[in-house]
């Protein structure tokens, strides 16, 4: 299983997923500042699930009907970084 993590995802969470043995392309490391559409396209090209904290991807997939391999929306506000993973 492969993942693309949007730059809205905290680095320690990405590190934890990687330490569990999963491949994660982290947008913050690869292409910071790219548009959400480009992030979604990158995830699709990689045949990966997209991990994000940004609800705007719902707009792209459900309202604009852009294709997605799957999106995992993290809603972890109010938790310390350590408790998030």
Which residues span the domain enclosing 67? Answer: 2-84
pLDDT recorded at residue 67: 77
Q: How many domains does the chain have?
A: 1
DSSP 7: T
Report the pLDDT averaged over residues 7-24: 95
**CA atoms of 21 and 37, how far apart (whole Å):** 27
pLDDT tens digits, 46-79: 999 999 998 888 888 887 787 788 899 988 777 7
Q: What CATH number should be reported for the domain holding residue 80?
A: 3.40.50
**CA atoms of 11 and 63, how far apart (whole Å):** 29
> Could you tell me the pTM of the whole model?
0.86
């Amino acid at each position: 299983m492969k993942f693309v993590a949007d730059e809205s995802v905290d680095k320690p969470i990405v590190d934890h997923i990687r330490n569990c043995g999963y491949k994660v392309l982290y947008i913050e490391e690869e292409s910071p500042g790219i548009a959400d559409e480009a992030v979604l396209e990158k995830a699709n090209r990689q045949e990966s699930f997209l991990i994000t904290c940004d609800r705007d991807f719902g707009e792209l997939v459900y309202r604009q009907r852009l294709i997605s391999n799957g999106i995992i929306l993290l809603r972890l506000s109010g938790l310390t970084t350590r408790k998030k993973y």
